[in-house]
Every structure is written in C-alpha cells, then in structure tokens.
C-alpha cells in the first residue's frame, strides 16, 4: 500500500512538472505568434527582434481582453476591477506605492488636480549619471559608475497596439485620464512617476533631433525604421548587475573601441522610462559616435558597456549635468554610458 501511495505521489509530481512545461510552451508559442512579432518582422525584416523586446511583448496581444480594454478606454467606461484584471494579465505595474529613484526622490511640483512630477527632472539628461571623456578610456584605467549600469526600473510588458493606440497622448494635460486608465490615485508615488514621464514625452526635441515615446513594440519598430531605414542593428549594455552593487568600487577598463561609427552619423537612442506599462523615450540624434568597452567589476564580473559621445554640446542647456560633472564648457565633447535596458539603434546600410 505504501509503495502504491509513493508511486501515486511520484506520478502527481511528474504530471505537475509536465503541466507547468506545457503552460510555458503555450505561452512561448502565443508570444511567437503575437501580432507585435509579425509587425516587427514586416517593419524591420533584417533584424531579429531583440530578446529584451520579445520578453516585453504583451501576453494579451491580440486577445479578446485587449480589445475589450481598448473599447473601455475609448468609451471612458473604465472601472477599478477591469483595470486590475487587465494589469495582472497584461503584466503591467499598476501599483501606487512605487519607490524608484530618481523619480520619487527629492521635491515634486504639484499640478492640476493634485498630480505631480519630480521637480529636479527637466529633460531626459537628468537620468544620465555616468559621464566621462574619451581620454578616460585607457586600458587599466579606473572609472566610477553610480550603479555599474544597473537599471532599477522593474520589468513590465508593452501595451498591445490596439490598447496603446486608444490611450490619449502622453502629455501632462492628459495625465488625469492616463491615471484613471491605470487606476492610479492622486498624490501617489506612481502619479509622480507618470507625471514625470508625460512631462518628458511632451517636451519638444532639440533642433535637429526627432523624438517619440513608444508604448508598443510596433511603435518602437516604426520609429526606428522611419529614422534609420529597415537595415539596422542594436547595440546595448550587457552584463550589468541585476541589483545595484552594495559596495561601491570602481570598474577597470579591460578593452575598448572608440569611434566605432562614423562621426556624425545619425543614431537612435531609446531610454527606458518608468510607467505602468513598458515605455521608452527614443530620440534620433546626430553628431555622435558610439564607444564600447569591457569593464571589469569588483565582484569579478565583466560589463560590456555601450556609451554615446556627443561631439558638439552647444545646443545643450547650460545647467546640463555633464558640464558640472566633467568640468567642461558648453560645446565640448561629452560621453555617457547607457544603462542595461537602454537601446542604441544604428544603421547597417553604408
């Protein structure tokens, strides 16, 4: 009898494992056939969708739930229970008490109806920390990085395109509607985060730049394709720690390559922004070149860092943090590393 019970328990465990495996297979199959993946292949046929973006494809892409939620947004008939179910199944982060530096650190400015944004954040540059000069890149040199290029923003999924297209534009005037959509209350930490994101996304780009804040995989592909054409490749920092290092120690430059692109060639930089759904701030810039380096961390790991060197900073605001950090005048060349989940798109067409 005992042997039969043990055998039954063993089969139960095996069936549970098989069931879990089948669930993962079905989920992976659904993502691989998601409309977002197909759209990516049609828009950028020469580049396979990066794993980071594939992992951010909405699990409800092309589903009845997405259609119903988009319809509810269009009708203005969104209820907390509806949003809660959608946030859960769509793998969003609709939590009000989210503490992610630098969004919720320091003072905030209160706007209409109690909404606010972080006061110190005026442009996307205020999220850049690790500035350096090209001359700093010497084998064996030590460099101090704030968090070893760790990205503190939690992983979330993009919105399905039909939901993203139904949202009002990401502007501060539309912030109350956006907060209602994700069931975010006034004077909460997430309200401040959303206020900062909308403030950044509505600001006009610098002269000669172009900008977009894609909320769907399709929008990301379309912006990159429009700016650079269909033949592109992705450069991104790899090997950064999953959590900010507890002990702050310099990294060591092991190897590097300077000017891997022709100086001045147009590129697209996409910065990861916090929002209930996955959101990027993408801007096309010229007068830049990309620098890559292998950086040895104190814990024995190696970070493959990708950096942008801006060759002419005359158009930057005089209070840009790079000038103070590097003690250089406006107009001088300045470089900064990109965090793990940022993306740099370059053309492969010569």
Q: 3-state DSSP call for residue 334?
A: strand
**pLDDT on residue 114:** 62
> How far apart are alpha carbons 218 and 37 in whole angstroms?
8
Length of the chain: 350
* 100-144 pLDDT per residue, tens: 877 776 677 777 666 677 877 888 888 888 999 999 999 999 999
More confident site: 90 or 286: 90
Checking if the pLDDT of 34 tops 50, the result is yes
The region of weakest confidence among 168-177, 191-200, 253-262, 313-322 is 253-262
Task: Quote the pLDDT of residue 23.
Answer: 35
Average pLDDT (278-294) is 94
* DSSP string of 35-104, one letter each residue: HHHHHHHHHSTTSPPPHHHHTTS-TTTTSHHHHHHHHHHHHT---HHHHHHHHHHTT----S----TTTT
Q: At what angle do helices 35-43 and 217-228 cross, to 10 degrees?
A: 0
Q: What pLDDT is stored for residue 224 in this prediction? A: 96
Higher pLDDT pick, 89 / 122: 89
Q: Write down the pLDDT at residue 315.
A: 87
Which range is least confidently modeled, 104-108, 164-168, 182-186? 104-108
pLDDT beyond 80 at 290: yes
Query: Over the stretch 60-84, which tens digit does the pLDDT of each residue have?
Result: 999 999 999 999 999 998 999 999 9
The rounded distance, in Å, linking the Cα atoms of 182 and 159 is 12
Q: Interhelix angle for 80-89 vs 64-75, to 10°?
A: 140
Sign of the dihedral defined by the CA atoms of residues 103, 104, 106, 110, in that order: positive
Measured CA to CA, the distance from residue 252 to residue 281 in angstroms comes to 30
Can you tell me the mean pLDDT for 93-104? 87
Average pLDDT of the segment spanning 142-155: 94
Could you tell me the pLDDT band of residue 4, with boundaries at 50, 70 and 90? very low
Per DSSP, the residues of 121-175 read --SGGGG---EE-GGG--TT-EE--SSTT---SPP-PPPPHHHHTTSPPS-GGGH
Return the H-helix or E-strand segment holding 29: helix 2-32
Q: Bigger pLDDT: 278 or 263?
A: 278
Location of structure tokens 């460099």? 143
Percent of the chain with pLDDT over 90: 66
Given a cut of 70, is residue 264 above it in pLDDT?
Answer: no
Global confidence as pTM: 0.87
Indicate the DSSP class of residue 291: E
| Average confidence (pLDDT) over 278-293 | 93
- pLDDT class of 25 with cuts at 50, 70, 90: very low
Find out whether 268 and 284 touch, Cβ atoms under 8 Å. yes
The beta strand positions in 238-301, using DSSP E, are 251-257, 267-273, 279-285, 288-296
Residue 71's closest CA among 193, 163, 196?
Answer: 163
Helix residue spans in 216-344 (DSSP H): 217-228, 321-326
Range of lowest pLDDT (27-31, 95-99, 271-275, 283-287): 27-31
For residue 30, the model assigns a pLDDT of 46
Mean model confidence pLDDT for the chain: 87
The strand pairing partners of 257, in sequence order, are 292
Q: For the CA atoms of the chain, what is the radius of gyration?
A: 22
Mean pLDDT of 140-154: 94
Tokens 């495996």, residue?
Answer: 21
Q: What is the pLDDT of residues 222-248, one digit of tens each?
A: 999 999 999 999 999 999 999 988 888
Per-residue b or e along 160-193, where b marks 16 or more CB atoms closer than 10 Å to that residue's CB: bbbbbebbeebebeebbebbebbbbeeebbbbbb
Using the predicted structure, report yes or no on whether residue 301 has a pLDDT greater than 60.
yes
| Structure confidence at residue 263 (pLDDT) | 58
């Amino acid at each position: 009898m005992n042997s039969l019970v043990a055998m039954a328990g063993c089969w139960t465990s095996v069936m549970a494992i098989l069931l879990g495996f089948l669930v993962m297979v079905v989920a992976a199959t659904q993502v691989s056939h998601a409309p977002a993946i197909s759209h990516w292949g049609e828009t950028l046929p020469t580049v396979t969708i990066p794993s980071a973006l594939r992992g951010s494809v909405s699990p409800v892409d092309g589903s009845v739930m997405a259609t119903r939620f988009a319809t509810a947004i269009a009708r203005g008939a969104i209820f907390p229970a509806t949003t809660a179910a959608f946030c859960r199944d769509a793998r969003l982060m609709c939590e009000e008490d989210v503490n992610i530096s630098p969004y919720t650190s320091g003072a905030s400015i209160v706007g209409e109806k109690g909404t606010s944004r972080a006061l110190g954040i005026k442009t996307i540059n205020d999220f850049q920390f690790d500035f350096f000069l090209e001359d700093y890149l010497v084998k064996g040199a030590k460099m101090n990085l704030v968090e070893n290029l760790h990205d503190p923003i939690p992983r979330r999924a993009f919105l399905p395109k039909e939901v993203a297209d139904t949202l009002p534009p990401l502007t501060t005037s539309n912030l109350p509607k956006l907060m209602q959509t994700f069931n975010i209350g006034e004077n909460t930490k997430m309200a401040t985060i959303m206020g900062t994101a909308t403030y950044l996304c509505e600001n006009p780009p610098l002269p000669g730049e172009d900008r977009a804040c894609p909320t769907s995989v399709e929008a990301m592909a379309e912006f990159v394709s429009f700016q650079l054409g269909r033949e592109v490749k992705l450069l991104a920092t790899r090997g950064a720690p999953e959590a900010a290092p507890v002990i702050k120690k310099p990294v060591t430059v092991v190897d590097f390559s300077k000017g891997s692109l022709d100086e001045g060639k147009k590129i697209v930089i996409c910065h990861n922004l916090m929002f209930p759904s996955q959101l990027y701030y993408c801007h096309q810039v010229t007068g830049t070149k990309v620098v890559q380096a292998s950086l040895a961390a104190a814990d024995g790991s190696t970070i493959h860092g990708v950096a942008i060197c801006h060759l002419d900073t005359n158009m930057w605001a005089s209070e840009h943090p790079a000038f103070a950090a590097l003690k250089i005048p406006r107009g001088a060349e300045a470089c900064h590393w990109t965090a793990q989940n940022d993306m740099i798109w370059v053309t492969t067409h010569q």
